[in-house]
Amino acid sequence: MEKDSDQLAETTCNMEQQTNQQERDPESNSLHRPLLKRNLTLSSSPLALVGTKVSYIESLDYEYMMGFFFMTGVNFMLTLGATLLVVFLAPTAAGPGIPEIKAYLNGVDTPNMYGAMPMFVKIIGSIGAVAAGLDLGKEGPLVHIGACIASLLGQGGPDNYRIRWRCIRYFNNDRDRRDIITCGASSGVCAAFRSPVGGVLFALEEVATWWRSALLWRTFFSTAVVVVVLRAFMEYCKAGDCGLFGQGGLIMFDVSGVSVRYHVVDLIPVTVIGIIGGVLGSLYNHLLHKVLRLYNLINDKGKFAKIMLSLAVSLFTSACLYGLPFLASCTPCDPSLVDSECPSTGRMGNFKQFNCPKGHYNDLATLLLTTNDDAVRNIFSTNTPSEYRVFSLVIFFLLYCILGLFTFGIAVPSGLFLPIILIGSAYGRLLGMAMGPYTTIDQGLYAVLGAASLMAGSMRMTVSLCVIFLELTNNLLLLPITMLVLLISKSVGDCFNPSIYEIILDLKGLPFLEAHPEPWMRNITVGELADVKPPVVTLCGIEKVSNIVDVLRNTSHNAFAVVDNQVVPAVGQVSEVHGLVLRAHLLLVLKKKWFLQERRRTEEWEVREKFTWVDVAERWGTIEDVAVTKEEMEMYVDLHPLTNTTPYTVVETMSVAKALVQFRQVGLRHMLILPKYHGPTVPPVVGILTRQDLRAHNILSAFPHLERSHASKKGR
């Protein structure tokens, strides 16, 4: 306790927890526990504090203890609920889900990611985790929820209860599925920040791999619908019937009230914010990487370990949120404010009384004992230069740095946006206070800039963050300096490490294909890559069933080259690449038992009779599900109708760098490698390249000398 709060004459006990208590009118105090009169006389000497500690603790109110236990208990239960859901029903619902969506749009599917169960767990779990007062946001989960809804709508419902209408089948292909999931993700961002244009740009800048103008306009359409629906609900909820929903209208953290005046000299603090944001952001990425690796070890120990970890974080969070405000000193209310505004005892309000006497407020309690959204709103508040003490903001900043690092990896749905905004806004406001005499920019705007800088330093987005912050704060005149801050932070951060999502992608082992080939990829050809791979598996155009079953059982390839041996009039005996056949289609043939007694080509109508295009688009399980009798094993299959006769190809002399550009730009799964020379003894296909073959990490482990030459060049 500090000196100026020695005389605690009256104390109101307000355990104002965000969502784990009932709706209550902030004006009426009738529900509050009766005020308790106490007389605490604490020694003002620090040495004497030790002596009086025991008596102080003894005299600590029973009500405070009850409040602590109540708050911690409710938080504990909520966290437990969210964790149990995630651990037992849908492990993929943990975390933000954005890296997985990013990987999906790059061509890497994470199983069980977009079903009904992950969506349900994500919704309920996210409500639980946010309500439990954990330091995590609902933004990432909303993006994932948006993607789940989009995926379910696109495929006509959950896997087992699909509606199979014609119009829905239209989406039953990779590209349209990707498009619709992109729309879902951008709608999620739009719903989270009420930022329609920001949502579109987020999808464009951070999530999507392939972009075309049609997609731009589709995502724009979906966010437009989201914002119109949001607006309609806000209209409906105006009377306050819907709790916290709709607070702040379409603009969540409005700072348009303050006029922005800045001069050339203000570029200095702006640059400083940018640099610090970049350094802090990359430091945050670095530390979070370490923590996540530690958590991975813990989480690998089993479900029980996961649950324990979540609960430990919850207990720690509750203890800090409740305990730390006692360290802060009380501030007298501004006399210009009405009594009901300061100090406030309800859920709302900028000036929480907590343990302070009448007419005073506890600024740290104002920040900690509220929803995360309100905390941001409080720190962003403009024209309030002396609302917060430096000490309180420093504690807030440190606390959220720690919580931000240790909360993200636990097994609940969690977003990264809000934790980073909280840290950033605190340091921004602190910087604003330090700059106070030398600048004309408001402290609240410094907080906004701080939040933006840390976001850019950690997530390395620019345009989308800029628009999201514009739409969050509704201050267009702030735009130029926001842009500068974002650019500086991103540049500084890029000097140290990759963005946080790339780090998570890497930790999750998702084979994400980068846009640009590494420089050393120019020094190796695809032919060399093919040489170190197992030899390519080829099938004949008309193949024996037993061979197909063998190949499917003994390899895990998803595509096989189909080669025909034939005599061409002017050329002579040649072996010709007919194309690529997919594992899924071989399984389809085996399941549908589409066998031939003799070695012959089929007619087109035979094929059309047997298969619909819906069959071809479906997934057909694994080879283990297929039962083939001994007689059938001796029969034949004509693979020609099911073969993709024009796969994209490269010649074996092509450098890996150029092959990678083609692979990624065209959006392929398999690419055939053709030989440089052709002749009777040369096989007509050298190999098949897949995503895994083209990943830098995999190439380097097969060709370690490339890394050395790369490193030595770098060192020079």
Q: Which stretch binds its own copies (CB under 8 A): 34-42, 165-173, 458-466, 504-512?
A: 458-466
Give the x-and-dash track for 547-576 against its own copies (CB under 8 A): ---------------------x-xxx-x-x
Q: Taking the complex as a whole, how short is the minimal distance between the CB of residue 117 and its own copies, in angstroms?
A: 33
Closest CA to 113 of 105, 123, 104, 126: 104
Q: Is 223 in the site for its own copies (CB under 8 A)?
A: yes
Query: And the tokens for 82?
Result: 């969210």
DSSP code for 112: T
CB of 92: closest distance to its own copies in angstroms?
Answer: 26
CB of residue 614 to its own copies, shortest distance in Å: 20
Three-class SS state of 563: strand
SS3 627: coil
Local structure of residue 35 (DSSP, 8 states): P
200 or 333: whose CB is closer to its own copies? 200
Residue among 264, 338, 495, 627 that touches its own copies (CB under 8 A): 264
Residue selected from 540, 651, 700, 702 as contacting its own copies according to rule CB under 8 A: 651
Asked if 275 interacts with its own copies (CB under 8 A), we say: no
Q: What angle do CA 38, 41, 46 make, to 5 degrees?
A: 140
Distance spanning both ends of the chain, measured CA to CA = 58
User: From the list 84, 197, 447, 626, which residue makes contact with its own copies (rule: CB under 8 A)?
Assistant: 197
- Residue 591: which residues within 8 A CB-CB, separation 6 or more? 620, 621, 625, 626
Q: From 116-124, 150-158, 212-220, 302-310, give the range in contact with its own copies by CB under 8 A.
A: 212-220
CA atoms within 13 A on the CB side of 553: 12
Least distance (Å) from its own copies to the CB of residue 216? 6
Choice between 219 and 378, CB closer to its own copies: 219
Q: Which of 65, 228, 614, 616 binds its own copies (CB under 8 A)?
A: 228
> How many amino acids of this chain bind its own copies (CB under 8 A)?
72
What's the min distance (Å) between Cβ of 324 and its own copies? 36
Considering only residues 508 through 527, tell me which ones interact with its own copies, judged by CB under 8 A.
515-516
**Residue 452's closest CA among 476, 480, 483?**
483
Q: How far is CA 66 from CA 12, 70, 371, 684, in A?
A: 13, 6, 21, 79
Q: Does 263 bind its own copies (CB under 8 A)?
A: yes
**Least distance CB 146 / its own copies (angstroms):** 17
The DSSP result for 115-134, as a single string, is SHHHHHHHHHHHHHHHHTT-
Q: How far is CA 597 from CA 2, 629, 631, 638, in A?
A: 93, 14, 10, 11
Using the contact rule CB under 8 A, the part of the chain among 203-211, 354-362, 379-387, 545-553 near its own copies is 203-211
- The whole-angstrom separation of Cα 481 and Cα 344 is 35
Q: Which is nearer to its own copies, 57 or 264 (CB)?
A: 264
Q: Per-residue x/- mask for its own copies, residues 609 to 648, rule CB under 8 A?
A: ------------------------------------xx-x
Site for its own copies in 100-159 (CB under 8 A): none
Select from 449, 467, 521, 529 the one that contacts its own copies (CB under 8 A): 467
Amino acid in position 196: P
- Of 355 and 464, nearer to its own copies (C-beta) is 464
* Smaller CB separation from its own copies, 81 or 647: 647
Measured CA to CA, the distance from residue 464 to residue 391 in angstroms comes to 33
- Closest contact distance (angstroms) between CB of 205 and its own copies is 6
Cα–Cα nearest to 288, from 551, 27, 507 = 507
**Closer CB to its own copies, 50 or 515, in the complex:** 515
| Residues composing the chain | 716
Residue 470 makes contact with its own copies by CB under 8 A:
yes
Closer residue to its own copies in complex, CB, 124/479: 479
Instruction: Judge contact between 481 and 270, C-beta under 8 A.
Output: yes
Does residue 604 interact with its own copies by CB under 8 A?
no
Amino acid identity of residue 283, one-letter, is L
Minimum CB distance to its own copies smaller for 162 or for 261? 261
Return the number of the residue (16 or 471) whose C-beta is nearest its own copies.
Answer: 471
Q: Tell the smallest beta-carbon distance from residue 31 to its own copies (Å).
A: 34
Shorter beta-carbon distance to its own copies: residue 494 or 506: 494
User: Is position 221 an interface residue for its own copies (rule: CB under 8 A)?
Assistant: yes
Binder of its own copies out of 204, 298, 319, 584 (CB under 8 A) = 204
Please report how close the Cβ of residue 658 comes to its own copies at its closest, in angstroms.
6
DSSP-assigned states of every residue in 338-377: -TTTSSB-SSS-S-B-TTSPTTEEEHHHHHHSS-HHHHHH
CB 187 to its own copies: min, Å: 13
Segment interacting with its own copies (CB under 8 A) among 354-362, 470-478, 543-551, 618-626? 470-478
Nearest to 327 by CA among 363, 282, 301: 363
* 250 is a site residue for its own copies (CB under 8 A): yes
Q: What angle do CA 9, 324, 67 make, to 5 degrees?
A: 65
The encoded tokens of residue 151 equal: 């995926």
Instruction: Determine which residue in the list 220, 326, 496, 611 makes contact with its own copies, applying CB under 8 A.
Output: 220
Task: Kindly state whether residue 242 participates in binding its own copies, applying the rule CB under 8 A.
Answer: no
* CB-based contact 182:189 (threshold 8 Å): no
Q: Which residue of 143, 150, 466, 562 would you call a contact of its own copies, by CB under 8 A? A: 466
User: Which residue, 311 or 479, is less far from its own copies as judged by CB?
Assistant: 479
Question: In the window 663-692, what residues touch its own copies (CB under 8 A)?
Answer: 665-667, 674, 676-679, 681-682
Q: What share of the chain is helix, strand, coil (3-state, %, to 5)?
A: 60, 10, 35
β-strand 542-544 against 538-540: which pairing, if any? unpaired
Two tokens at 598? Answer: 């003799």
Distance of alpha carbon 331 from the chain centroid: 39
Q: Minimum distance between the CB of residue 233 and its own copies, rounded to whole angstroms? A: 11
- Give the nearer residue to its own copies in terms of CB position, either 76 or 211: 211
Q: Measuring CA to CA, which residue among 317, 418, 343, 429 is closest to residue 374? A: 418
Binding status of residue 196 toward its own copies by CB under 8 A: yes
The answer to the question of residue 352 lying near its own copies (CB under 8 A) is: no
Cα–Cα dist 307/81, whole Å: 10
Residue 440 is a binding residue for its own copies (CB under 8 A): no
Query: In this structure, are residues 454 and 465 in contact, taking their beta carbons and an 8 Å threshold?
Result: no
CA distance 140 to 416: 7
For residue 662, state whether it binds its own copies (rule: CB under 8 A): yes
Strand partners, 538: 561
Helices (H), 460-612: 463-473, 479-496, 500-508, 526-532, 545-554, 583-592, 604-610
Q: Which is nearer to its own copies, 434 or 483 (CB)?
A: 483
Nearer residue to its own copies within complex by CB, 223 or 414: 223
200 binds its own copies (CB under 8 A): yes
Radius of gyration of the chain (CA): 31
Q: Give me the least distance between CB of 652 and its own copies, in Å please.
A: 10
Q: Taking CB under 8 A as the rule, does residue 474 contact its own copies?
A: yes
Residue closer to its own copies (CB basis): 43 or 655: 655
Identify residues 76-105 at the interface with its own copies (CB under 8 A). none
Strand 330-332 to 360-362 pairing = antiparallel
Determine the 3-state secondary structure of 135 from DSSP: coil
Question: Binder to its own copies among 259, 653, 701, 709 (CB under 8 A)?
Answer: 653
CB distance 363 to 354 below 8 Å: no
